[in-house]
Amino acid sequence: MSRTDGSRFGKLREIARPDRVFDFMVPAQSPVDVRHGPILYLEDVSVSFDGFRAINGLNLTVDDGELRCIIGPNGAGKTTMMDIITGKTRPDSGQVWFGSRHNLLTLDEPQIANLGIGRKFQKPTVFEALDVTENLELAMAGDRRIWKTLLARLDREGQARIDEVLETIGLTEERYRLAGVLSHGQKQWLEIGMLLMQRPRLLLVDEPVAGMTEPEMHRTAELLTRLAGQQSVVVVEHDMGFVRSIARQVSVLHQGSVLAEGTMDQVASDPRVIEVYLGGDEEAA
Partner 1 sequence: MSFTTGWKGPAPRRRLTIPMLLCLLMACGLGIGSEASAASGESQVQASKGEPQAQAKGEPRALLGALDTGSFQAKGDAAQAIAESGAEQKTRWLQALLDGRLGKERRGDRFYIVTDDSGREWPIIDAITFEDAGTGTRRTVDIFKINNELRTRIEGLLASLSLSAGNEASRLSAAQRLVGEVTADNADRVRGMRDDEESDAVRGQLDVALALYDLQQGDAEALDALRGNLDTRVRNALTPIAAGDSALAAEAQSVLDGIESKRAWYDRAQTLFFGLSAGSILVLAAIGLAITFGVMGVINMAHGELIMIGAYTTWLIQQALPGQPGLALALAIPGGFLVAGGFGVVIERTVIRFLKGRPLETLLATFGLSLVLQQLVRTVFSPLNRRVTSPEWLQGAWQINEALSLTLNRLGVLLFCLAVFAALWALMRYTRLGLEVRAVTQNRAMARAMGVRATRVDMLTFGLGAGVAGLAGVALSQLTNVGPNLGQGYIVDSFLVVVFGGVGNLWGTLVAGMSLGVINQVLQPWVGAVLAKIIVLVGVILFIQKRPQGIFAPKGRTS
Partner 2 sequence: MTIQAVPQERDRSRQAFLSRSTLVTTFALIVGMLAVLILNALPASSALHVSGATVALLGKYFTYMLLALAVDLIWGYLGILSLGHGAFFALGGYAMGLYLNAQTSPLPGWQSIMTYFPVAALAILLAPGLLALAFGWLAFRSRVTGVYFSIITQALTFALMLAFNRNEMGMGGSTGLTRFYELLGFSLASENMTVALFVASGMAVLLAFWLCRAITVSRLGRVSVATRDAEARVRFIGYRVDHVKLALFVVSAMIAGVAGALYVPQVGIINPSTFAPLFSIEVVVWVALGGRATLYGALLGALVVNYLKTVLTGAMPDAWLFILGGLFVLVTMLLPRGIAGVISAWRGTRFGRRTGERKEVSA
- Residues in contact with partner 2 by CB under 8 A are 86, 88, 109-110, 113-114, 118-119, 121, 125-131, 133-135, 137-139, 144-146, 149-152, 173-174, 176-178, 181, 194, 198
* Of 200, 229, 227, the residue nearest 140 (C-alpha): 200
DSSP state of 278: T
User: Residue type for 204, please?
Assistant: L
In the sheet where 40-49 sits, what is the strand order?
A: 52-62, 40-49, 93-98, 102-103
- Residue 54 binds partner 1 (CB under 8 A): yes
Q: How far is the CB of 70 from partner 1 (least distance, A)?
A: 16
Q: 125 contacts which partner out of partner 2, partner 1, none, CB within 5 to 8 A by kind? A: partner 2
Cα 257 → chain centroid: 20
User: Which residue, 1 or 129, has its beta carbon nearer to partner 2?
Assistant: 129
Out of partner 2, partner 1, none, what residue 283 binds, judged by CB under 5 to 8 A for its kind, is: none
Q: Is the CB of residue 239 less than 8 Å from the CB of residue 70?
A: no
Cβ-based nearer residue to partner 1, 96 or 140:
96
Window of 76-84, 111-119, 138-146, 215-223 that interacts with partner 1 by CB under 8 A: 76-84
Q: Which entry of partner 2, partner 1, none binds 247, CB below 5 to 8 A by partner kind? A: none
Q: Is 31 exposed, middle or buried (0-12, 13-18, 19+ CB in 10 A)?
A: exposed
> What 3-state DSSP class applies to 78?
helix
Whole-number minimum distance, CB 211 to partner 1, in Å? 17
- Interaction of residue 207 with partner 1, rule CB under 8 A: no
Alpha helices, H only, 201-268: 214-227, 240-246, 264-268
| Site string (78-117) toward partner 1, x via CB under 8 A | -xx--x-----x----------------------------
